[in-house]
Chain A
Amino acid sequence: MFNEIIMTDRTTFAIAAAIYGAAFLFGLISLLMRRAYSRTIMFALLCGGFLIQTIALNLRGTEIKACPLGNPFEITQFLAWSLVLLFFIIGPAFRLRLLGGFTAGLATLLVAGSLALPSWDTPYPTGIFGDNHWIELHAALAIFSYGFFAILSLVSAMFLIQQHGLKKKQFKGVYQYLPSVQQLDLMARRLLITGVIVLTASLAFGAVFWINNFELVPIFKLTATCFIWLGYLTVFILRIQKKLVTRRHAIATIALFILAMASLWPVQSARDNEALIEGLPTQVER
């Protein structure tokens, strides 16, 4: 059905970015006007953006005949999609005020930002995952775990803003609409635990492939991924031991997410370089 859509996948992604942007602006303007935004409108806008982005991902997936996770652009798009999907799961259940607005903001940044960098959308060989569904599952789970970490960094940012307001005795503005510090801290703990479990599962599936295809996994990618996983695992252990809590926990999770995002491009470059060295085709007609 989606194949019959005339628009290209990049145009569809751009429409999704515009809808997410509208959701973010709606939240921002409401806050600047010192009133809480309508959750229904925010939810509807995010639903619209999510639906369009799903279509765009489907178009891209049909084209490459695999889960679209082959370059930084697709990874970022899939990450933004996971982020919004997680918001739909977490938002209504825990009713964290302003989480929708923050999610819309980060989704806009990720979707529009990756569209603005054409170099991220480099062509790559079709069927990069081959026939190995384990490695496809590994990639999808890894990006899904990054979705958890993305929403965790949003919750952490909200925690830091609320805590700053409380410490500096600020009462009006965004502070009065944010959830309580205790709610945010509790949510951050849950998201960290779930994210680490999903990432660990993803690495376990990836390890099965790595053991059998040692030479196909770029060492830089392996190192960077393990480094990020170890980082989150350390934060997780310290959090369980109550040694890294509240403010420091929030800062650590935000820093780790920035690091994880920053590692996407070098990881991809390393893979492309290795492909070039090995003489594998890196272009695909799109």
Chain B
Amino acid sequence: MSEVLESLFVLGTSHHVTPLEVRERFALTEAQASDLQKQLHTLEGIRECLVLNTCNRLEIYCLADSIERAKEISGLICNKQNLSPELYQQFAYSHNNLEALQHLLEVSAGLDSQMVGETEILGQLKQAYATAREAHCTGKVLNRLFEKSFQAAKVTRTQTGITRGKISIGNVTVDLASRIFGKLGNSRVLLLGSGEVGEKTAQALKSRGIGDISVSSRTFENAYTLANNLGVTAIDFDSFVDQLVHFDIVICSTAAPEALINKEAMARAMNQRPERPCFLIDLAMPRDVDPSVEEVENVYLYNLDDLSNIANENLEARKAEIEKAREILKKHAWNLWLLLRRRELMLKA
């Protein structure tokens, strides 16, 4: 087992090393991520695996018979996503053994997140773990690692102030909308897609007095359910581009593989409302709004990276807490590592 533990690794890409336009090329749909996980599990030498696929990261946690398996997995990702090995090498990273463990703990505690201290990643990790476990892709080692990482995240948040003073995407959006429109009471919002971040952003805007919100999703049932939850209306997804002219704020968080709003469509809408600005919030990965839309007069386009940069502007004040959290997680990682090795030695004996 000591050999087994030596081949614990994580590889992938995240917002730290990969710009948004490259992350888009790595991005997987839910179905693609599930397929990849199944495919990895069938590979020879892969004992346990888990795919974590969020808008900011694609990571594969593996327990394999050899560290060399990481290269096979890299090749598989390149083939699947049509990426050149050079691009992959430039933007991907990998960690082994204790480093991999430490990385997982930092991810679960939100220290590695784009908006440091955010808690959404923990839910995403739990979801990824549940899916992998259900598919029998994880075993004793990864199960233990992930369950311990969830505990460590909770301890870190309780013992440090990493979440204090944290600004959410919803808050940043509300502040930006206020800088564009002033009072938000008369603004009309369109929520595209039924993603959780989009929903929270819409809720934040609603809490600031916006009453006119419409929801549109490729699956009308999802739009209808979300509209019911928010107490708003649902509109037909096929016609949303023609209706852009009526909306002041558009929140995009669909899983569409291509941009839904291009420069021409936006320019057409703005021609009909030249005096009223339009605020586009693109929370999707890959992006729902073509970046060239920003060139249209009176349009303000913000994507995930922009919002996170703004949210992290108060990071300096939390630096000491982040260091404290990192130290706590280091101890957890080391104890967990020793525990796993001890158990294995006992089994051997």
- A contact set with B: CB distance below 8 Å: 162, 165-167, 169, 171-172, 175-176, 178-183, 185, 189, 242, 245-248
A242 and B274 within 8 A (CB): yes
A171 to B172, CA, bound (A): 10
**Across the interface, which residues of B come within 8 angstroms of A175, CB to CB?**
179
Contact of B277 among A171, A181, A248 (CB under 8 A): A181
- Chain B residue with minimal CB distance to A169? B306
- Chain A residue with minimal CB distance to B300? A166
**Across the interface, which residues of A come within 8 angstroms of B178, CB to CB?**
180
**Across the interface, which residues of B come within 8 angstroms of A181, CB to CB?**
179-180, 277
A171 and B310 within 8 A (CB): yes
Q: Given known contacts A180-B179, A181-B180, what 5 new A-B pairs fall within 8 Å (CB)?
A: A169-B306, A171-B175, A176-B179, A246-B274, A246-B275
**Across the interface, which residues of B come within 8 angstroms of A185, CB to CB?**
275
**Also in contact, A182 and B182, with CB within 8 A (given A166-B176, A242-B274):** yes
- Chain A residue with minimal CB distance to B276? A182
Interface code B166-181, partner A: CB below 8 Å = 1, 0 otherwise?
Answer: 0000000001101111
Contact of B180 among A166, A169, A189, A242 (CB under 8 A): A166
Contact of A166 among B179, B275, B276 (CB under 8 A): B179
Interface on chain B toward A: helix, strand, loop, or mixed SS? helix
- Closest-CB distance, B342 to chain A (whole angstroms): 49
B180 and A182 within 8 A (CB): yes
Contact of A182 among B175, B176, B181 (CB under 8 A): B181
- Closest-CB distance, B227 to chain A (whole angstroms): 27
B300 and A167 within 8 A (CB): yes
Size band of the B side of the interface? 20 to 34
**Across the interface, which residues of B come within 8 angstroms of A167, CB to CB?**
294, 300
- Chain B residue with minimal CB distance to A180? B182
A116 to B198, CA, bound (A): 57
**Across the interface, which residues of A come within 8 angstroms of B274, CB to CB?**
242, 245-246
- Chain B residue with minimal CB distance to A249? B275
A171 and B180 within 8 A (CB): no
**Is B30 part of the binding interface, using a Cβ–Cβ cutoff of 8 Å?**
no
B181 and A180 within 8 A (CB): yes
**Across the interface, which residues of A come within 8 angstroms of B182, CB to CB?**
179-180, 182-183
**Across the interface, which residues of A come within 8 angstroms of B310, CB to CB?**
169, 171
**Is B298 part of the binding interface, using a Cβ–Cβ cutoff of 8 Å?**
yes
**Across the interface, which residues of A come within 8 angstroms of B176, CB to CB?**
166
**Is B247 part of the binding interface, using a Cβ–Cβ cutoff of 8 Å?**
no
A169 to B300, CA, bound (A): 9
Between A165, A179, A189, A245, the greatest number of chain B beta carbons within 10 A of the residue's beta carbon is seen for A245
B297 and A246 within 8 A (CB): yes
A162 and B179 within 8 A (CB): yes
Contact of B302 among A162, A169, A179, A189 (CB under 8 A): A169
**Across the interface, which residues of B come within 8 angstroms of A178, CB to CB?**
179
- Closest-CB distance, B299 to chain A (whole angstroms): 9
**Is B84 part of the binding interface, using a Cβ–Cβ cutoff of 8 Å?**
no
- Closest-CB distance, B317 to chain A (whole angstroms): 13
A247 to B302, CA, bound (A): 19
**Is B309 part of the binding interface, using a Cβ–Cβ cutoff of 8 Å?**
yes
26 example contacts (A-B, Cβ-Cβ < 8 A) are as follows A162-B179, A165-B179, A166-B176, A166-B179, A166-B300, A167-B300, A169-B302, A169-B306, A171-B175, A171-B310, A176-B179, A180-B178, A180-B179, A180-B180, A181-B179, A182-B180, A182-B276, A183-B182, A185-B275, A189-B275, A245-B274, A245-B275, A245-B297, A245-B298, A246-B275, A247-B297
Interface code B288-319, partner A: CB below 8 Å = 1, 0 otherwise?
Answer: 00000010011010100010011001000000
**Nearest 9 A-B pairs (CB), nearest first?**
A180-B182, A183-B182, A171-B310, A245-B274, A169-B306, A242-B274, A182-B181, A166-B300, A246-B298
- Chain B residue with minimal CB distance to A162? B179
- Closest-CB distance, B316 to chain A (whole angstroms): 12
Between A171, A180, A182, A189, the greatest number of chain B beta carbons within 10 A of the residue's beta carbon is seen for A182
- Closest-CB distance, B245 to chain A (whole angstroms): 14
**Across the interface, which residues of A come within 8 angstroms of B276, CB to CB?**
182
**Across the interface, which residues of A come within 8 angstroms of B298, CB to CB?**
245-247
**Across the interface, which residues of B come within 8 angstroms of A189, CB to CB?**
275
A164 to B310, CA, bound (A): 16
A182 to B177, CA, bound (A): 10
- Closest-CB distance, A189 to chain B (whole angstroms): 8
Between B176, B274, B276, the greatest number of chain A beta carbons within 10 A of the residue's beta carbon is seen for B274
- Closest-CB distance, A236 to chain B (whole angstroms): 14
- Chain B residue with minimal CB distance to A172? B313
- Chain B residue with minimal CB distance to A183? B182
A74 to B302, CA, bound (A): 48
A175 to B300, CA, bound (A): 15
- Closest-CB distance, B171 to chain A (whole angstroms): 12
